[in-house]
Amino acid sequence: MRDSDARLIEEILRLNRERNAVILAHNYQLGEVQDIADFVGDSLELSQKAAQTDARVIVFCGVHFMAETASILCPDKIVLLPDMHAGCPMADMITAEGLRQKKKEHPGATVVCYVNSSAEVKAESDVCCTSANAIRIVEKLADSREVLFVPDQYLGHYISTKTGKEMILWPGFCPTHIRIKAQDIIRLKQEHPWAKVVVHPECRPEVIALADEVLSTGGICRFAGSTEAEEVIVGTELGIIHRLRKENPNKRFIPASEQAVCPRMKLITLENVLWSLEEMAPEVKVPEGIRLRAKAAVDKMLEVG
């Protein structure tokens, strides 16, 4: 490690204590950002941590919808997102107005909203889900009403195949996960015949069809620790490889595609984390009217866990 990085880290950790802050980082963050975080996890785990923390400030190292979810759950805390440009392009593929129009076409449908969405879209939804609990949530919808699933068509399609529930799908997608191609997995399986293949449910259906396991990023980390396989082909964003290698030094993790990089996740750096703690900015705050309606959908999700 360079001397300048060591000084930067020392200063971040000092200010983190001084401000009574907690640093939460998503599994796709840069390795050096994951390393200074108090907790690293998937979207569900991070929202659960945010809901439980008694810190006064949450420094969210992830993308905008994740910081917004923390703000929805913790209105009395200061939620900082070190770079406001760190948005999720999939979340931007649907607006509250677009969803209102779709609801008019399907009156009475239950709206299930992937947490990768804005607070305004959550406010228009009945229940949220993450990739970790999406199947459980849809299975829990005991009534036989139509389900409108937004905004990820591939996650929606995957849940539909697992639950047998037909759903109306919004045509959103993750620009990072669609870069992973079936051909990548087929080639890697030939090169590593003993490897297990684990992919994220945002991948294309033909990629999912080739996988041994389809899991959230947190699920991928747990699978990596428990599998007997020595080699694992990993079909998700490249940032997760840092954590997998750190926690499992005796196993080999092979990225399904070197193209699977989420540029917005990489906008968070040690420098802007420090700046954010110094300035106590930029803050993510959801207007109260929207927050209360969005919280109802997030709470319903957290009840299921």
Would you state the structure tokens that stand for residue 297, as one six-digit string? Answer: 């959908």
We find the least distance from the C-beta atom of residue 300 to ligand SF4, in angstroms, to be 22
133 binds ligand 13P (CB under 6 A): no
In angstroms, give the least distance from the CB of 25 to ligand SF4: 13
> Which of ligand 13P, ligand SF4, none binds 217 (CB below 5-8 Å, type-dependent)?
ligand 13P
What does 111 interact with, of ligand SF4, ligand 13P, none (CB < 5 to 8 A by kind)? none
CB of 178 to ligand 13P, least distance (A): 11
The answer to whether 89 contacts ligand SF4 (rule: CB under 6 A) is: yes
Residue 105 C-beta: closest distance to ligand 13P, Å: 28
Q: Which of 34, 116, 125, 257 binds ligand SF4 (CB under 6 A)?
A: 116
From candidates 116, 118, 125, 257, binder to ligand 13P by CB under 6 A = 116
Residue 176 binds ligand SF4 (CB under 6 A):
yes
Stretch 185-224 residues interacting with ligand 13P (CB under 6 A): 200, 202, 216-217
**SS3 labels along the chain:** CCHHHHHHHHHHHHHHHHCCEEEEEECCCCHHHHHHCCEEECHHHHHHHHHHCCCCEEEEECCHHHHHHHHHHCCCCEEECCCCCCCCCCHHHCCHHHHHHHHHHCCCCEEEEECCCCHHHHHCCCEEECCCCHHHHHHHCCCCCCEEEECEHHHHHHHHHHHCCCEEECCECCCCHHHCCHHHHHHHHHHCCCCEEEECCCCCHHHHCCCCEECCHHHHHHHHHHCCCCEEEEECCCCHHHHHHHHCCCCEEEECCCCCCCCCHHHCCHHHHHHHHHHCCCECCCCHHHHHHHHHHHHHHHHHC
Which one of 12-20, 52-60, 124-132, 134-142 is the stretch in contact with ligand 13P (CB under 6 A)? 124-132
Residue tagged 């569900």 (tokens): 44
The stretch near ligand SF4 (CB under 6 A) out of 140-148, 173-181, 243-251, 297-305 is 173-181
Give the x/- contact pattern for ligand SF4 in 31-70, rule: CB under 6 A: --------------------------------x-------
By CB under 6 A, tell whether 68 contacts ligand 13P.
no
CB-nearer residue toward ligand SF4: 78 or 267: 267
